[in-house]
Amino acid sequence: MPPTILDIALHAGTSKSTVSRYLNGGSVGKDTAAAIERAIEELGYAPNVNARRLVSHKSHTIGVVLDDISDYIYGAMLSGIQAGAHQHGYVCTFFSRRPTEATEASYLDLFKSRQVDGLIFATFRKRNPAEVMLLAQSGQPIVLIGEHSGVLRLPTVDVDNLSGTLEEVTYLIGQGHRRIAYLAGPSGMSASASRLRGYEQAMELAGIASEAALMERLENWTVDAGYQAARKLLARTKFTALAASNSYSAFGAARAMQEAGLSIPGDVAIAAFDDDILCTYTNPPLTTLSQPFSRMGSLAVSQLVEIMRGETEVTSTVYVQPKLILRESTGTLDRLKEA
Amino acid sequence: MPPTILDIALHAGTSKSTVSRYLNGGSVGKDTAAAIERAIEELGYAPNVNARRLVSHKSHTIGVVLDDISDYIYGAMLSGIQAGAHQHGYVCTFFSRRPTEATEASYLDLFKSRQVDGLIFATFRKRNPAEVMLLAQSGQPIVLIGEHSGVLRLPTVDVDNLSGTLEEVTYLIGQGHRRIAYLAGPSGMSASASRLRGYEQAMELAGIASEAALMERLENWTVDAGYQAARKLLARTKFTALAASNSYSAFGAARAMQEAGLSIPGDVAIAAFDDDILCTYTNPPLTTLSQPFSRMGSLAVSQLVEIMRGETEVTSTVYVQPKLILRESTGTLDRLKEA
DNA sequence: ATAGAAAACGGGAACGTTACCACTTTCGAC
DNA sequence: GTCGAAAGTGGTAACGTTCCCGTTTTCTAT
C-alpha cells in the first residue's frame, strides 16, 4: 500500500536503480535528483526497512539481553545503550530473561534469524561458564556488561568492583575505623566476589586481621536482606562502620542500626556500593560508590559497533571506575572538611 | 551463510514449498516432516525474519515511544509492555524522544518504513493537539498511555488521576484536616490538570472554600521544585496537610517542613501521587497513590493487538484506578487504627 | 571537431520467504 | 476395483530493495 521505490521511479520518470542510487548517495543527475526528491515528497515515500534488511543481510539492530527490564538500575544503562546505538545508526530491541528464564546461549538464535547484528548481555546474575563458552565460540559480535568467569574471553564492560570497594573501605579506615563489618553480595551475582575481595584487600593492606564474624552474606540484594543481615551482625559482634555491597541492603542495615538505638554516623558509619536516587534522600544521606551506568552502556555499544564493523580483532575488557560520593552516613560534612 | 529454507529442502529431499508449509503448520506427510525436522536440527536452521517480514508485510514489532527511557518510572511499565508483547508474539523496540526531541507525528514514518505494526505512545508530557490529530488521522494502530486533549479520540490507557487525587484528599479531610495545601504538577505534564481538579473537587465536596494561597504550581516534578514550592507555601500561609501531585516533590516538601522545624505528620501530614520504592524508606514513609504501571503497559498492548488484528472498531479509553497506600506521613499506624 | 574518460542511467538478478495453483498420490466408501 | 475427495507436493511469482554490469550521455582536453 505505501509507495515503493518503483512508484517513485515512475512518478519521477526514471528507473528503480536510479532512485536507489539517489537514496544511497550515489551520483545522479541534477534534475533527476530534483524530480526524485519531489516524487518522494509528494508520495510520502519511506524505504521499506525489511526489504533493505533482507538484501543487505543486516538488521541494523542491536539486541540487549537483561535479567529484568523493570529493575530500575537499568534506566541509565538503557539510556546509554539506546543513545549510543542511535548515534551509530542502530536500533535496539530488548529481551528480558525474567519471565522466560531462557539460557543466555539461546539468544544466539537471534543471529541465525537475522534479527540482530550484535548482542549486548547486560545481565548481572552470575553467568554459567559453559554458556559463556558457547557465546564465545559462536564467533558472533557479542559484548558483555558485568564480569564473567569464562575461560574464553569475551569483550566486556564492567565497573571495577574490586578497586572501588577497596577505595571505599580504605576511606573508612582512614577515618579511623578498625572494626568494619561487611555485607557481602549474594552468591548468585557476578559482582559479589570482586567486591568482597576489595573489602578483604583493604583490610589486609591496613594490616587489620580479618575476622569472619564481621562478614555477613546477603541472600539477595534487597532492603530486607540488608536489615536481617545487619541484625545478625549486631547480635554477634561490635563494629564502628559497615560497608554494604549494594545500596538497598545498606538502607535495610541503616534501619536496623536505628532501631537498635545506634546513630549514623555517630555510632556506626555506613557506606555502600551502587548509587541511586534514594541515597540522597535517606536519613542520613548515604555515602556510595556511584557507577557510571550510562557511560557503561555507550561504551558497550561502541565496542560492539567496532566488532561488527570488523575494525578490531582484540577482545578487550573495559573497566570503568566507580566514583566515591561522600555523604553524611560516613561523617558530617564538617568532619569531612577537617580531614 | 546460515542455511536457508532451500538448504533444508535439499537436505530433506523435498521442496521449498513443503518446508515452508511444515514451518507454518500446514499439512505435510509424516516421513517428510521427520526428514525436515532432522535437516533443521542438523543444519541449525532458523527462519530469516526479514524475509518473512518483507513478504508478509508485517514486522511483528511494537514500537514504544517514551519521553526518556532513563526515567525509572518507566521500569514497571516497560516490563508490562514487554511481557504483553511477548505473549502475543510481538517484539518491542523503544524510542526515546529525549535526545532527539522529535515530534510525536514524526514516528508515523515507522509505519511507512514497515518497522512497526503498531505504536504505543507512553509519553507523559502534555501532547500537542495538532499532533494528536495527525496521529488519529493516520488511521494506524496507535495506543496512548496518559491522557490527551485531542478532538479525535485515540485509544488510551490512563490512570484515573482525578478520582485518585479526590480519594486521597478526601482521606486527608476525613482525618480532620481543613487547610490542605496542594503542589500542582507542572503545566507541561498531561496529568497535572486532572490531579488538580481532583484536589479542587475534594475540597468542594467537603464544603471547604477554595483558597488560592494554598496552591503552588511546581516548575517540574523534581525534589528541588517540591522543596522550593513548599518553602513559598510556608512563608505565605498556614496548613496542616499537604498533597503533592507526585512523589519527588513530596520528598522536597517534606525536607522543607523538617527544616522549618515542623514534624511529619504531627504538624503537617503529607500525601502524594505516584508510589515508588523511595516512599517506603523515607522518614517518615510517605502515603501515596500507587499506579499499576505494569498493568497499564499490558493493557495498552492488549488493546493495540486487538486493533492490529482488526478485531475492534471502537476506540476505548481505559482508566485504571490508583491505589491509596497509607503510610506514616499521614498519621501513625496507631492513629490509623483508631479511625 | 574528436577521442577518451567520467558521469549518469536502466535492465535484471538476487536476497529468503510465503502464497497460489495445479498436479500427484493416498485413502475410504460403495 | 473404481471413483471421488482429501491430503500431500512442487513450480513459480511475488515482496521491495540493492548491486552488478553494460549502455548511453555528458564533459574535458587536445
CB-nearest partner of A48 from B48, B94, B113 = B113
Distance, CA of B118 to chain centre: 16
pLDDT of B210 over the 90 cut = no
DSSP state of A125: B
What does the pLDDT read at residue B278? 75
The integer distance in angstroms from the CA atom of B57 to the C1' atom of C23 is: 29
What does the pLDDT read at residue A147? 78
Interface of A with B in 9-48 (CB under 8 A): 44-48
What does the pLDDT read at residue A131? 87
Of residues B315 and A65, more confidently modeled: A65
Query: Strand D: which nucleotides have any atom within 7 A of a protein Cβ?
Result: 7-12, 14-21
Place of cell 497513590: B289
Interface of B with A in 298-337 (CB under 8 A): none
Residues from chain B that touch A253, judged by Cβ atoms under 8 A, are: none
- Rounded-to-10 torsion of CA A237, A284, A225, A188: -100
DSSP state of B232: H
The integer distance in angstroms from the CA atom of B20 to the C1' atom of C24 is: 19
Residue ranges of chain A with pLDDT lower than 50?
A: 333-339
Rounded distance, CA B164 to CA A250, Å? 33
Rounded distance, CA B220 to CA B189, Å? 9
- Which run of H or E residues covers position B224? helix B223-236
A153 neighbors A317 (Cβ within 8 angstroms): yes
What does the pLDDT read at residue A218? 96
Q: Which residue spans within chain A are E strands per DSSP?
A: 61-66, 91-96, 118-122, 142-145, 156-159, 180-184, 215-217, 241-244, 269-273, 287-290, 317-320, 323-325
What does the pLDDT read at residue B333? 47
Q: Which nucleotide is nearest to A114 (CA to C1')?
A: C16
- Give the pLDDT band of residue B72 (cuts 50, 70, 90): confident
Mapped onto helix, strand or coil, the DSSP state of residue B141 is coil
Q: Which nucleotide is nearest to A52 (CA to C1')?
A: D17
CB-nearest partner of B50 from A50, A93, A98 = A50
DSSP state of A96: E
Interface of B with A in 51-70 (CB under 8 A): 51, 53-54, 59, 61, 68-70
- Give the pLDDT band of residue B150 (cuts 50, 70, 90): low
What does the pLDDT read at residue B337? 44
The integer distance in angstroms from the CA atom of B23 to the C1' atom of D3 is: 34
Q: How many CA atoms lie within 13 A of B207 on its CB side?
A: 1
Rounded distance, CA A45 to CA A19, Å? 12
The distance of A301 to chain B (nearest Cα, Å) reads: 16
Residue B208 touches partner A, C-beta closer than 8 Å = no
Provide the b/e sequence for A171-205 (b: ≥16 CB within 10 Å): bbbebebeebbbbbbbeebbbbbbbbbbbbbbbee
A276 neighbors A291 (Cβ within 8 angstroms): no
What does the pLDDT read at residue B331? 81
The integer distance in angstroms from the CA atom of A18 to the C1' atom of C9 is: 7
Q: Which residues 6+ apart lie within 8 Å of A253 measured at CB?
A: A183, A226, A227, A229, A230, A242, A244, A270
A14 neighbors A36 (Cβ within 8 angstroms): yes
The distance of A207 to chain B (nearest Cα, Å) reads: 37
Residue with minimal CA–C1' distance to D12 is B17
Q: What's at A183, amino acid-wise?
A: L
Of residues B148 and A164, more confidently modeled: A164
**Among A111-115, A136-140, B69-73, B184-188, the least confident range:** B69-73
Of residues A282 and B105, more confidently modeled: B105
Percentage of chain B beyond pLDDT 70 is 96
- Which parts of the protein come within 7 Å of strand C, by CB position? A 14-18, 21, 27-33, 51, 54-55, 57; B 4-6, 16-17, 20, 23-24, 45, 47-48, 51-52, 54-56
In DSSP terms, which residues pair with B331 in a beta bridge? none
Rounded distance, CA A29 to CA A35, Å? 10
**Among B42-46, B47-51, B111-115, B310-314, the least confident range:** B310-314
The distance of B38 to chain A (nearest Cα, Å) reads: 17
Q: What's at A113, amino acid-wise?
A: S
Nearest to B250 by CA among B219, B264, B271: B271
Interface of A with B in 232-291 (CB under 8 A): 251, 255, 277-278, 280-283
Nearest residue in B to A249, CA atom? B281
Q: Which three cell numbers stand for residue A21?
A: 542510487
